[in-house]
Amino acid sequence: MLVLNGPNLGRLGIREPDVYGSATFDDLAALCRETGRRLGLSVEVRQTDDEAEMVRWVHEAADGRLPVVINPAAFTHYSYALRDALAQRTAPLVEVHISNPAAREEFRHTSVVAGVATGTIAGFGMTSYVLALQAVAGLLAEDPARP
C-alpha cells in the first residue's frame, strides 16, 4: 500500500512546528512503516511537491489495486486533477491530515478530495496516520476480496 504526502510535508520538523509538531518526515515515514508491519501491511511512504507526480502515483495505485493513505496537503483545497485521479481508486483510500483543517483558516475548510475518499482522519498529529493505517487494515480484513 502507499502512504502519499503532498507539498511541504518533506519539511516536517522545520515547517510551522507549532502546527505540525517537531517530528521530521523521516520520523513520519518510520512510524508508518512500523505501524504497517504491526498491522500486516507492506507500506511505502512517498512525498512530493509536484502535483503531476502525485497524480501519477495515484494512477499507479489504482492500476495496482493498492490501498492509499494520502495527505494531499495544499492540494486538498484546489486540486481537481488529484480529485479526479483519486476517483479512479480501486482499493480503500483514506485522506489524512496532521492538523484539523476545519479549525484553521477558512480556505482550508474545503477538501475537494474528501468526496472520493473512503474516509478522512484529521487533527491527531502523527497519530492521524496510525489511525488511517488501522482503518485500511480493518477495511481489508472485513472484505478479504479487497486488494
Query: Tens of pLDDT along the chain (147 residues)?
Result: 999 999 999 998 887 777 666 789 999 999 999 999 999 999 999 999 999 999 999 999 999 999 999 999 999 988 999 999 999 999 999 999 998 877 666 866 689 999 999 999 999 999 999 999 999 999 999 876 655
Which residues span the domain enclosing 43? 2-142
How many domains does one find in the chain? Answer: 1
33 within a domain of the structure (yes/no): yes
Q: Would the annotation count 146 as a binding residue?
A: no
Query: Catalytic site residues?
Result: 20, 97
CA angle 98–103–106, rounded 5-degree value: 110
Residue 17 and residue 98 in contact, taking contact as beta carbons nearer than 8 Å = no
Q: Would the annotation count 18 as a binding residue?
A: no
CA angle 119–123–125, rounded 5-degree value: 110
Note the pTM of the prediction, 2 decimals: 0.90
The whole-angstrom separation of Cα 16 and Cα 117 is 27
Tell me the CATH number at 56.
3.40.50.9100
